[in-house]
Structure 1
Amino acid sequence: MSNIDTDLLVLAIWGFIFLVFIVNLFRSIRLVPTKSAYIVERLGKYHATLDAGFHALIPFVDKVAYIHDLKEETIDVPPQECFSSDEVNVEVDGVIYISVIDPIKASYGVTNYRYAAIQLAQTTTRSVIGTLELDRTFEERDLISAKVVEVLDQAGASWGIRVHRYEIKNIAPPETVKNAMEMQVNAERERRALLAKSEGDKQSKINRSEGVKQEMINISEGEMQRRVNEAEGKAEEILAIARATADSIEKLAAVISAPGGENALRMQLGEQYLTKLGELGKASNRVIVPANIIDFEQWMTTVGLQEKPQ
């Protein structure tokens, strides 16, 4: 190999070394975003946790080993088969909401905290559903979620994470069980509809009978009030007639007891008598005369047009 080739080889090696140095120099400058944490290792050992801001590391000595996002994140729990206490196979999936609160424990306390949280959520879900009957699994979603959160919180203390909540997305029973449940729901719905209809008919009949009863009461009370009013009206009429008759008798007695009243009354009665005789004769086309027309004075005395001789 010539000297020129040797010089070129040495130059290439030094150029590569310089390039590596420059790259590591730029990589030693770190800008950490907000709500993030960088774990720095120095010579393979934990050295520091970098918060948000500008940081300069020592090239070839310091290395960013782990990068953690401190914001709350969502992790899907894949569907899994679970058996309820009545031996029904259901498929359950969910979602976990977690966040990193201790970057050091999240880096060194567990290999992969996301995978560990998913596995623990699945095993806890299976154990909780195994204690419930199928019908209760749909009603006790909050119970299952609370139990998973409790177990994950206990484990998360050593993993450097906090589990905020766990939500079950779907609980899917087998198709045969689903059809049986739908038939049961339809039967229950029809039973409630029939019950509601019967209750409505019963209430309708009660309302109609109450209406008829109230109507009869109103009619009887109206009839009673009408009769009372008629009786009171007749009583008032009789009293009015009696008062008028009494007043007329009193006035007539007063007139008769007055001087000349008796003669005036006698003349008025005689006049009415003659008028009545005339009306009767006119109606029958006859002439009515006294039986003893010769005794004119007695006839005049009879009709009251002449005083009876003493």
Structure 2
Amino acid sequence: MGPYIIIGFVVFIVLLAAAGFRIVPQSESFILERLGQYQATWQSGLHWKWPLIEKVAKRVSLKEQVVDFQPQPVITRDNVTMQIDTVVFFQITEPKLFAYEVARPLVAIENLTATTLRNIIGELELDETLTSRDVINSKMRIILDEVTDPWGIKVSRVEVKNILPPRDIQEAMEKQMRAERERRAAILTSEGKRESAIRIAEGDKRSAILRAEADKESQIRRAEGEAEAILQVQQATAEGLKLLNKAAPTEAILKLKSYEAFVKAADGKATKLIIPSEIQNLGSLLTSAAEMVKTTNEEANFTEVSEEE
């Protein structure tokens, strides 16, 4: 029995020693205690502890953690009670402090968040609370990070998730927002109508200007045409007078031309005629013309008789 006991004892010792090997995963730390006293903080990798006298007291995650706390009742400076819930982002930077400096750290952070939120909101009015989320988040992060630093906790971010005013306040805010939207819509509508009227007036003005310019151009062209026609008539008249002067007409021809003009005037279309004084000598003029013709014929006959003789 002696050799078997020794072999069994050796196997027991080997198994006990092998049980002392521990592997620490990435992003975790182990708190090692020896006989109930802090001994070391194991980081990721392979470690060995003395069996029976050393133990892993706490496993601590080094990842960033997110905690969503329940809505907390807070009162603003103008005595409006509302419900606000927050989200806290934190990371454990000192596992030893986290394990030994605070009991139930998540509960401690939640209570600290609630009291800090009440203090900050108590200094703000309702409207400021609804429009100052960034200010609230920044103040809470600074305060929480400072308080939790001795616990080995780093608060990286705090976000106000929801702000829920009382129902009557919500209804009043909705009415106010609806009235504001209607006011903006009315303003936009009136501005659109005014812009449309301005554009229409500008279009009418431009159209009137173009029409006036077109009428002006037409009148100028018409006047130029009439002036050109008058000039041509005057030039023709002047040319006729020149030719008439070159022909050296007798007084009898001039009177005859005047009578022809009188005949044209009295072609039956005129209702009134102004007879010049020279018309009274029409008979004598015709007699003189007949005598001139008779004398011309006699001279012609006398000339023919002379030639026959």
2:190 aligned partner, one-letter code: S
Q: 2:5 maps to which residue? A: none
Q: 1:201 to 1:71 in 2, by over 3 A?
A: same
Match of 1:232 among 224, 230, 247: 224
Return the offset for 1:90. 0.4
Q: 2:280 maps to which residue? A: none
Structure 2: give runs of 5+ residues left out of the alignment. Answer: 1-7, 269-284, 298-309
What CA deviation, in whole Å up to 9, does each residue of 1:137-169 have, x standing for no partner?
A: 221111111111111111232121211211111
Question: TM-score normalised to the size of structure 2?
Answer: 0.72
Q: 1:93 to 1:247 in 2, by over 3 A?
A: same
- 2:63 is the alignment partner of 1:71: yes
Return the offset for 1:196. 2.0
Q: 1:216 maps to which residue? A: 208
Q: 1:293 to 1:167 in 2, by over 3 A?
A: same
1:196 aligned partner, one-letter code: L
Q: 2:199 maps to which residue? A: 207
Q: Secondary structure at the match of 1:78?
A: coil
Return the offset for 1:237. 3.5
Question: TM-score normalised to the size of structure 1?
Answer: 0.72
CA RMSD of aligned residues (A): 3.5
Q: 1:231 to 1:299 in 2, by over 3 A?
A: farther
For residues 198 and 161 of structure 1, the distance between their equivalents in structure 2, rounded to whole angstroms, comes to: 58
Q: 1:235 to 1:74 in 2, by over 3 A?
A: same
Return the offset for 1:88. 0.8
Q: Percent identity?
A: 35
For the 8 Å contact 1:85–1:131, the answer to whether it is kept is: yes
Q: 2:292 maps to which residue? A: 295
Q: 2:176 maps to which residue? A: 184
| Equivalence map 1:152-163=2 (5 Å) | 152-163=144-155
- 2:166 is the alignment partner of 1:169: no
1:73 aligned partner, one-letter code: Q
Q: 1:299 to 1:133 in 2, by over 3 A?
A: farther
For residues 198 and 219 of structure 1, the distance between their equivalents in structure 2, rounded to whole angstroms, comes to: 31
Match of 1:31 among 10, 23, 31: 23
Return the offset for 1:217. 2.4
Q: Secondary structure at the match of 1:54?
A: strand
For residues 244 and 49 of structure 1, the distance between their equivalents in structure 2, rounded to whole angstroms, comes to: 128
For residues 171 and 22 of structure 1, the distance between their equivalents in structure 2, rounded to whole angstroms, comes to: 61
- 2:132 is the alignment partner of 1:134: no
What CA deviation, in whole Å up to 9, does each residue of 1:198-231 have, x standing for no partner?
A: 2222223233333322322222222222222222
Q: 1:189 to 1:100 in 2, by over 3 A?
A: same
Q: Which moved more, 1:159-168 or 1:88-97?
A: 159-168
What CA deviation, in whole Å up to 9, does each residue of 1:68-101 have, x standing for no partner?
A: 1111111111111001111111001121111111
Q: Secondary structure at the match of 2:115?
A: helix
| Equivalence map 1:74-93=2 (5 Å) | 74-93=66-85
Return the offset for 1:294. 4.3
Match of 2:140 among 148, 171, 177: 148
